[in-house]
Amino acid sequence: MKTIAKTGNEAMAYAMKQINPDVVAAYPITPATEIVQIFSNYVADGEVDTEFVAVESEHSALSACVGASLAGGRVMTSTASQGLALMHEILYIAAGNRLPIVIALVNRSLSAPINIHCDHSDTMGSREAGWMQLYCANSQEAYDSLIIALKVAEQTAVPAIVSTDAFIISHAMERLEVLEDEEVQRFIGEYKPRFSALDLENPKTFGPLDLQDYFFEHKRAQIDDFSKVLGTYNKVAQEYAELSGRYYPALEEYKTDDADVAIFTAGSTADTAKEVVDGLREQGRKMGLVRMRMWRPLPVEEIKAALGKFKAVAVMDRSDTMADFGGPVFLETRGILYDAKKKPLLTDYVYGLGGRNIDISDILRVYDEIEQVVKQGKIDKLITYLGVRGEE
C-alpha cells in the first residue's frame, strides 16, 4: 500500500493499469475525459499488455469491446456524457450477451445546451440497460470501485459502470492509497470466460435472432442474473475491505442512528453533506445522511430499512426525469417506500444540473427545510429546484 496524489481521472486510469485488461477500445468524443488518454500512455510506455483499439466513435468503441469480450477477453473502456449516449444501443447488447465489460465513467450532463460539467443525467438515462451502476464520492472510492466492480462483473456476467462527478472528482487532486500491482492481480484473479468465440473446438452461435418464442425467456433469465449482483457485490466488497481496509457498502449510512431527518443523495455531494451533518451534530440537531452508491441493481431492502426509520427525508437528485415529477432517485425511492411499514415524508431537491455549484449553505438549507417538514407534519413543496435563479 502506498500513498499518492491523483485526480479522479488519474485514479481510474491507474486502477485500469493495475487491472491490465486484455482489450481497451475507446474514442474521445467531446466531452470525454483524459482517462483513456492517460491509459493510452501506459500502453505506449509498455506498462500494460493491453491491446488498445482506437476506433472512430463511442458506438464503435463499445462494439469493439463487445467483440473482444465475446472472444473471451477482460475488457474495459471509458466514456462520459454524449459518449455514453452514443454507446446506448450497445449497452443493451453487452448486457444481453452477459459480457462483463467495465466502463470508467465521468458523470457529465447531456446536451442541449452544450455543457461538460457534472450532473447524473448520462448514467441515469442508461439505468435500464442492464449494467451495474456505482456512483463514487471521491477519487479513492473511484479507484477502489473499479477493482471491486470488475470482479463482481466477471463473477455475475453483468457489465458495470463506475462513475465520478465531473471536475469535482475527475479533475480534483486528492490523496489516495493504492494497492500494489500484484495485490490487484491477486484480488481480481485470472479471468475465466464462460465462453470464447475463438474456441474453435467448441463452436457456438452468438447473437442469433430471437423472436416471440424465446426473447422473453432470455430477458427473464437476464433479470434473474441481475438479481444476484447485490449479493455478489456484498461478498466482494467485504473481501476488498479485508485487503485494503476500505469497505464500501451498496448503501452508506452516516450518523443516522438517532436521526429524525436525513438527506438521501449520491456522489461528491454526499461527502459535502457529511461536513454539514458534522456541523449540525455540534449544534445538537439530530440529522443524518444516506448515500446512494449502488443504483443498479437497486438495493431495495437496504433503502427501505435505511430510510424507513426517519420522520422526513430529502432526496437530492442530480438529474431530472422530465416526468414533471422530480428526479429518478426520488421517483424510485417513493416506489420502494410504498409498501414500507414505516415511511418518512419524502421530498425531492433537483440540484447541480450542468455543474451548478452545490455548497454547504445549499445543503444546510435542505436540512433546515426538512426539519420544518417534520415540525409541520406535512410537505408544502414536493419538488424543489435548488440553486436555480428565478426559483427561490
Partner 1 sequence: MSMKFDRPMNWKELPAGCLIDEAATSLRFKTGDWRSMRPIWDAEKCIHCLFCWITCPDTAITVQDGKMTGIDYDYCKGCGICAVICPPKASAIDMVREEK
Give the 3-state secondary structure of 236-262. HHHHHHHHHCCCCCCEEEECCCCCCEE
Residue 59 has a CB neighbour count (10 Å cut-off) of: 18
The count of other CB atoms within 10 Å of the CB of residue 311 is 18
* 96 touching partner 1, by CB under 8 A: yes
Of the residues 203, 245, 284, 377, which one makes contact with partner 1 according to CB under 8 A? 203
Exposed, middle or buried, 341 (CB in 10 Å: 0-12/13-18/19+)?
exposed
Residues 6+ apart with CB under 8 A from 283: none
Please report how close the Cβ of residue 160 comes to partner 1 at its closest, in angstroms.
16
One-letter amino acid at 314 equals A
Q: Which stretch binds partner 1 (CB under 8 A): 51-59, 174-182, 219-227, 281-289?
A: 219-227
| Nearest residue (CB) to partner 1, 47 versus 225 | 225
- Using CB under 8 A, which of the segments 4-12, 20-28, 91-99, 169-177 binds partner 1? 91-99
As a whole number of angstroms, the distance between CA 78 and CA 100 comes to 14
Nearer to partner 1, 105 or 158 (CB): 158
Instruction: For residue 380, give the DSSP letter.
Output: S
Closest CB 152 distance from partner 1, rounded Å? 16
Size of the site for partner 1 (CB under 8 A): 24
Helix crossing, 300-308 with 328-337: angle to 10°? 80
Does position 217 bind partner 1 by CB under 8 A?
yes
Closer of 96 and 249 to partner 1 (Cβ)? 96
Calpha distance 387→372 (Å, rounded): 19
Q: What number of other Cβ atoms are within 10 A of residue 228's Cβ?
A: 14
Using the rule CB under 8 A, is 194 a contact of partner 1? yes
Are 206 and 97 within 8 A, CB to CB?
A: yes
- Of the candidate spans 71-79, 92-100, 105-113, 334-342, the one that interacts with partner 1 by CB under 8 A turns out to be 92-100
Residue 366 is placed in which grid cell? Answer: 435542505
Beta bridge partners of 77: 103
Minimal distance, residue 219 CB to partner 1, in Å: 8
Report the alpha-carbon distance of residue 102 to residue 146 in Å, rounded: 8
Q: Spell out the residues 6+ positions from residue 74 whose beta carbon is closer than 8 angstroms to its own.
A: 19, 21, 22, 23, 150, 154, 191
204 binds partner 1 (CB under 8 A): yes
Residue 265 pairs with which residues in a beta bridge?
291
Alpha-carbon span 282 to 196, nearest angstrom: 58
312 close to 370: Cβ distance less than 8 angstroms: yes
Cβ at position 218, least distance to partner 1 in Å: 5
CB of 223 closer than 8 Å to CB of 131: no
Find out whether 304 and 355 touch, Cβ atoms under 8 Å.
no
Q: Of these, 175, 186, 218, 381, which contacts partner 1 (CB under 8 A)? A: 218
When asked if residue 212 is in the footprint of partner 1 (CB under 8 A), the reply is no
Residue 221 binds partner 1 (CB under 8 A): yes
What is the smallest separation between the CB atom of 215 and partner 1, expressed in angstroms? 8
Q: Which is nearer to partner 1, 206 or 247 (CB)?
A: 206
Among 201, 224, 242, 324, binds partner 1 (CB under 8 A): 224
Q: For partner 1, which residue of 89, 181, 210, 239 counts as binding (CB under 8 A)?
A: 210
Contact call for residue 225 and partner 1 (CB under 8 A): yes
With CB under 8 A as the contact rule, which of the stretches 82-90, 198-206, 243-251, 314-322 interacts with partner 1? 198-206
Of residues 26, 134, 157, 277, which one binds partner 1 by CB under 8 A?
Answer: 157
| Residue 297 CB, nearest approach to partner 1 (Å) | 17
Q: How far is the CB of 95 from partner 1 (least distance, A)?
A: 9
Residues in touch with partner 1 (CB under 8 A): 96-99, 157, 194-195, 202-208, 210, 213-214, 216-218, 220-221, 224-225
